[in-house]
Structure formats: structure tokens, C-alpha cells
Structure 1
């Protein structure tokens, strides 16, 4: 190979202006190619939007204009800033190198079954033998000793994660076109560097569903629990593929301590993977989720929320109050905030309702209705059955949504309520629900961490009305948040969970 290497990242004067979607965006150049292409990061945006663009589209911007655009004063270098970096711990050293190494994607696209998907982030796929030969033939370096921009040393003495990344095709930065495409089997997640090998493999791959056992099944949608210690190769390949779309997590090739929960959608032939999440078998912090990904072709369809709800159901059945592992990505935080707010809103609706949610009216003959007992199921005619939402394609009808506890309330919620009934001049009566509880009691009733519940309540504005340190929440406020946040019914049906 005679193709030259790319220019190292983070060169001087790397800030430019690019017109994107009709607006000027400040970008930083991370890398250049001999053909004039530049790899840029859009200032203020997630690096999954980083891309190669023609160098001719760049407009220079001087330093003072750049600082005014960011709204930051011109800093004066201090003595501490001009000194060499202080001694770092092994963990700090590893984190710094990890950020520098993974700053650029090593694949542009991935072929996955019928989909060709644009990747978001770096994933440490090992180099193939042919790629090792190509990389060794590049001027100025070999596959094992190529210079990494900003990394002073890259030896076996570096942390294990750095060593894994060094094996992950860092020299692929010189590749373009079809050579920057990864080929992955959508059945077993085996990866290949060439399309011919991929086509040969899929003709003989007979895997119809993920390994492991079913832990949830509702119609065509199934969640499989896979033990990383029993199915190591499958879980390693799954993790490598997921890392293409996850940035804040660091990949370990030792999957023995993790369980993987894989969501699939079945057709007449096999089960198709929609997404997955992983969790540690033993978490001393009671984390119920390590990382989660819904494959890009299946996003914005409720599958991520289904997996989040399932992770909390696993914690609840284990007698624990779980929370996701930190840090959360921007998309992860948005999804979890949606779940926390929806969980609290559904709880407040039940808590602040005199009648069960599915019983807007109650009719009785001869005497007043007994609201302390188990109410009979509501009658349903043929027309109302036709109008019932069916959910996802292939989903079985919902189980009967009658409540097994009095008035649709469990003992925890019932103990928090006081029902005040006041007679009206016309002989009727009006009932009001009054609740006095602490944040800890609300968090316990919803199976949320106190800090997660407080964060969600603050974000949706329900902590804004306080009087002498007491927060007041009315049903009208709850419904306003529900409308603003578009709170929906749960995706998960606990009746279909198959955990023992």
C-alpha cells in the first residue's frame, strides 16, 4: 500500500466556520486526509455528529471572534497551566487516554442484515490479518506502534482498556470508501471486514434467536436473558457492536460479570434483535442497568422505554430500588427523565383519584357504593373493544386490567391517603383526596431512588410551589405535566414477565 497516513489530530488553528443546514457552525478539525477531506467536530454538539467534509467548505475564523462567539473572555495562561501535567493516578491516566483514543470513529458505516447504518462512535474491533498487513505497509508506522495523537505512551503497561483500544483498529483512520465499512451478521453478531465473507457467512448462519432464556414475552416481542459467562463470544460481539452507538461507556472484553437482556421481534422465520441492555450480576451500588442501546432503525418506537421499565421490574422483584449506572449520555438522560416523570405522574394519578383510573363512574342500586371493597370489572360492549389500542404489531391483547386490591390501590398508597367527603346543598356529596407524605415515601412507593425522584419532580416543575417548606401538588398540576410531557401508558405488562 502506498497511501499516506492522515495528519495527526489537534493541529494548531483548528477552528473554522462551516455552513450546515443554512446556519454557520463553529467546528474543530480533528484530522485531515491527503485528498482534502477533513474530520470535524461541531462545537457544542455530541461527537456522534462528527463527520468528514470537504476542506473547501471551511471558512477561517480568528481567535478573538471565536472567543466572542463562545462568550468566554480571553484567558491569560497561568503558571500552573504552563507547567507539565501533574502526576496522575492510573485511573485518571486511563480516562484521559481513552478520550483521546476514541475521539474519532474507526468505521463510517456498518452493514447489519438489511440495514446499512451510519456509526456514531469508536468501537475497538480488532484488526484482521489483511488490515494488519495494510497498516504495517503505511509510511511512518506499524499496526502495533502507530502514533496516537495526544497519547505519550502506548505500551502493555498502560491500563487494560487502553490495550484493548490499541488492538481496535486505530490505524483504520486512513481508510475510506468501502474499506471504512464493517459487516456484521444480524443473527450471531460475528464481524467481517469484507462483504464477500459476510455474504458467505449469512448463507450458513443458522441462529434463529439469541442464546439464553426468555424472561419476557408479549406477542412477538421477547426479551432474552443471556449470561456473559456462558455465551462469551456472543456477548463480546454484541458489546463491540453496541459500542458503535454508545460513547460514555468503556468496553471490557470480560463479560463474565454481566447479564445481557436482548429485545427481539419475531417473524415466521426467526427473532430479529431490536436492542439490548446489560447489567452487572452483582452491583454494590444496586445499579440495574450498565448500558442500553436501541438499534438506530428501531428507535423512537418505544422499545427503549420497554427495556428501561423491564430493568426496574427486575429490581423490584429482587427487592431492590435500582438506578442506571452513571454517567448517562444525553440520550440516556432524556429517556430516563421521561421514565421517572411518567412513573411519578401515573402514581399521582392513582394517589389523587377517588375512583380507580379505569372506573370514571360507579352505579349502585339501593345503597351507596362500597369503595373499600374490590370493585367488579367494568362492563364492555363490542364497540369499546374495537376502539381499544392494540399496541405494537403482533402483540397479544391486554390482560384484564382489573385491580386485585381494594379500589385499585395497594396498601402503601392506601395508607398515604385521606378521603374527605363534604355534603352539598342539593343532597349530593363531593369527595376530595388529601395526601401528606415525604419524598422518601413517594420514592419508595414508585420504586425510584430519592435523588432520581427529586430530579424528575424538579425538572417537570412540581417542586416549584412551596409553603413553609411543604410542597403542594394538585391533580390539576399533575394533569398539566402529563399533557406537557405527553405521558403515555406503560410499555411493559408485568403479567408477561417470566422471571421466577
Structure 2
């Protein structure tokens, strides 16, 4: 049960109140829930979650950002005020510096508490060691002899490389990679047994070394034939086609293994969008590129055929084709019907994909892993 009142000042606000708050990034007013309240330099600040908005936009706001004309109080406000907010509900790192990039984190990550009090955490972009200051990082860089991620380089074309490493052999790097990932993936777990996973780190190279762009991990043994467990493209490299490059690479490995695969599910909202786009483009590329026979007719193709040639699991092939609306039931049979508009949109999308995985540049043999104990 709740009731709405006008508040004369923010002193009346409690944890759990709902009110209109001006978002700092967009300056738009949005209904928000107060998660926590603190005193900073004699002024009250409020940590808010915007209703029906991704948690990465949660933030601390001041009095000036609050609309006190209609504040909703709930009967359980008093109980919520007494309860300590879950630490993972609130961002704890203000900023990180990774190489030439300064990045504002989206979510909580369990970095050491003392570091989280700093205005910025400085990371070595090669070994991912975290430092409290630029001076400390500078001293570390003079001693750090790494210029690329651990493991073996299994792919290189132009400036793009992939390095494969085993979580059991390079556990310290894997642990630090998980801490970095948690800043940008809400549901990422950092308490997993890293020895169960292989990691594939994508880099961009220049004269200074190989700079991390993103990565994916996969279980060494998966009962569900998952070919990917966790995937991240770092924010400075997003919207540049690197996410699809990571996805494509995971399927190239599946092709070499001679099996179909799929990502671990459920997928995040952004993950589902990326995969649906990749599946659709890959399937359309295959279908449109299929040559006609001597009579000008295209040969029949089954979902099994598509799955075997792309290594995309049959369920995901069906999902993508349903999304594209290219399966029609005609005269007792399912028919593939791709209209001109779909083909035109596909060609535009493929022209935007400037970077693609070249299978000839992949030098990789599946590891012969011992059975699980």
C-alpha cells in the first residue's frame, strides 16, 4: 500500500520512496526508486534506480535533481530504511583507466574496498593489475614484461588477434579479467571455478602491444554443447562490429570441432539482440548465396543443412528464421520466401560489417582435455 504527498524538502525522503528524478545524462525526468541515502560535504545525496530502465543508469543525484511535488511513500518504507542495501545494488567504482581509455563503470564489481574510494582505478592493459594512482601504474609498467594477454595467439589478420588461455594455468589473469567484466555485465559471477573455462581474448595491435578489445569464455566440458559462456566487448569498442566478430569466432571454433553450438542461456537483452542479428545475417548470407540449378531453380535446403553448414544449433536457426518471417506454409510444405526488401536490408547490413573472421588465418586445434573427475 502506498500514498503520494508533496514534500517541502528532501529531508522527508526515505529509502524506498518513488518520485520523479532528472537523469543526469539525458536531463529527462523519470520515475525512480531511492535505493540509498548519504551525507556528502554537508549535503544529502540519493542513489536512485530508474523504474523500467537498465540498472547501468543507476546513479547518485542531488536535491536539484528531485521533483518533490509528488512523492510516493510505501507502508514498508520504514523496514527498507532499516535494512542495509545490498552492496551489489550500487556501483562502487567511479572510473577506470585502461590504456588510453577512461571508462565509467556500469555496475558493482568487488575490487578492494580501499581502491573503490579512489576517483579512478588504473589498470595495466596487458596484465590487468589494478593500481590506486597513475604513479603506481607507471612504476608497474616499467617492470611488467607482458605486451599481450597470456596463452597462445591462434588468430591474426591485420591488427586483430585472438589469444587462447586456460583458466587453470592463468588463474590470476582470469580472476582480474572477471573483475573487469563485472563492471559491465550485471549478472557476471566472479566466484566461479575458473579452471573449468577456456578464454579467448581479442586484441588490437600497434607498436606498443596488443590491446584488449573484448573476450569470450567457454566451458571445457559442456553437457549442453555451449560454445560460449560469457562475452564482453569493452565500451570503447562497442558499436564497431567487434561483438559479432567474437560471436563469429566462437562458431568458427565449433566448425573446426565438427559440431553445432550455442551460447549459454538465458542471454542478456543486449546479448540476445547481438546473437539474433548474427544468426539472421549468417543464415541469409548462406541462403542468398546458394546457387541455382540448370533449370534456374534453387535447391531445397533443410534446417539440418543450415545448422551443419553454419554450426548454429537447429533451435537457433528456427528462431532466427521465424524472426525474419521467411518460412511460409504452402501446399502442405514449409517454403522459404525471402522478399526483395529483406535481401536489400541484408546487403546494407553486410556492407557495414567491415571486419570479418577469415578462417584461413585461424591456426587452432581442439584441445584434448581430460575427463572431469
Query: Unpaired runs of 5+ in structure 2?
Result: 1-10, 76-84, 366-373
The count of aligned residue pairs is 339
Residue 363 of structure 2 aligns with which residue? Answer: 498
For residue 13 of structure 1, report the CA deviation from its aligned partner.
1.9
Cα distance in 2 for partners of 1:218, 1:121 equals 33
For residue 485 of structure 1, report the CA deviation from its aligned partner.
5.1
Residue 337 of structure 2 aligns with which residue? Answer: 473
CA offsets, 1:275-315, max 9 Å, x none? Answer: 11111111111111111111111222222211111111111
Residue 297 of structure 2 aligns with which residue? Answer: 432
Determine if contact 1:212/1:225 at 8 Å carries over to the other structure. Answer: yes
1:209-358, aligned counterparts within 5 Å?
209-252=148-191, 254-351=193-290, 353-354=291-292
| 1:484–1:22 distance in 2 versus 1, CA, 3 Å | farther
Cα distance in 1 for partners of 2:94, 2:204 equals 27
Q: 2:48 aligns with which of 31, 40, 46?
A: 40
1:4-23, aligned counterparts within 5 Å?
11-18=15-22, 21=26, 23=28
Determine if contact 1:345/1:478 at 8 Å carries over to the other structure. Answer: no
Cα distance in 1 for partners of 2:154, 2:273 equals 26
Determine if contact 2:19/2:66 at 8 Å carries over to the other structure. Answer: no
For residue 16 of structure 1, report the CA deviation from its aligned partner.
2.9
Cα distance in 1 for partners of 2:97, 2:28 equals 32
Cα distance in 2 for partners of 1:45, 1:204 equals 44
Residue 6 of structure 2 aligns with which residue? Answer: none
Cα distance in 2 for partners of 1:268, 1:469 equals 58
1:121-136, aligned counterparts within 5 Å?
121-127=107-113, 131=114
| 1:41–1:269 distance in 2 versus 1, CA, 3 Å | same
Residue 116 of structure 1 aligns with which residue? Answer: 102
1:30 aligns with 2:35: yes
| 1:30–1:466 distance in 2 versus 1, CA, 3 Å | same
Determine if contact 1:342/1:488 at 8 Å carries over to the other structure. Answer: no
| 1:117–1:432 distance in 2 versus 1, CA, 3 Å | same
Structure 1 residue matching 2:221: 3-state secondary structure: coil
Residue 454 of structure 1 aligns with which residue? Answer: 318
Structure 2 residue matching 1:259: 3-state secondary structure: strand
For residue 486 of structure 1, report the CA deviation from its aligned partner.
5.4
For residue 232 of structure 1, report the CA deviation from its aligned partner.
1.3
Determine if contact 2:153/2:161 at 8 Å carries over to the other structure. Answer: yes
Q: 2:88 aligns with which of 96, 102, 108?
A: 102
Determine if contact 1:36/1:54 at 8 Å carries over to the other structure. Answer: yes
For residue 420 of structure 1, report the CA deviation from its aligned partner.
5.7
CA offsets, 1:328-382, max 9 Å, x none? Answer: 122211111111011111111122x33xxxxxxxxxxxxxxxxxxxxxxxxxxxx
Structure with greater Cα Rg: 1
RMSD of equivalent CA atoms: 2.9
| 1:469–1:450 distance in 2 versus 1, CA, 3 Å | same
Determine if contact 2:18/2:31 at 8 Å carries over to the other structure. Answer: no
Residue 307 of structure 2 aligns with which residue? Answer: 443
Determine if contact 1:460/1:481 at 8 Å carries over to the other structure. Answer: no
Cα distance in 1 for partners of 2:261, 2:280 equals 16
For residue 44 of structure 1, report the CA deviation from its aligned partner.
1.6
For residue 478 of structure 1, report the CA deviation from its aligned partner.
4.6
Determine if contact 1:247/1:329 at 8 Å carries over to the other structure. Answer: no
For residue 195 of structure 1, report the CA deviation from its aligned partner.
3.7
Cα distance in 2 for partners of 1:436, 1:43 equals 49
Cα distance in 2 for partners of 1:51, 1:469 equals 54
- The answer to which structure has the higher strand fraction is 2
1:54 aligns with 2:40: no
Query: Unpaired runs of 5+ in structure 1?
Result: 1-6, 67-76, 78-98, 132-168, 355-418, 422-430
Determine if contact 1:184/1:190 at 8 Å carries over to the other structure. Answer: yes
TM norm structure 2:
0.82
| 1:439–1:481 distance in 2 versus 1, CA, 3 Å | farther
Moved more, 280-289 or 250-259: 250-259
Structure 2 residue matching 1:321: 3-state secondary structure: coil
CA offsets, 1:98-119, max 9 Å, x none? Answer: x944211110211112221100
CA offsets, 1:440-490, max 9 Å, x none? Answer: 343333321122112212222324x43346244146365145157557567
TM norm structure 1:
0.62
Structure 1 residue matching 2:194: 3-state secondary structure: coil
Cα distance in 2 for partners of 1:458, 1:289 equals 23
| 1:200–1:56 distance in 2 versus 1, CA, 3 Å | same
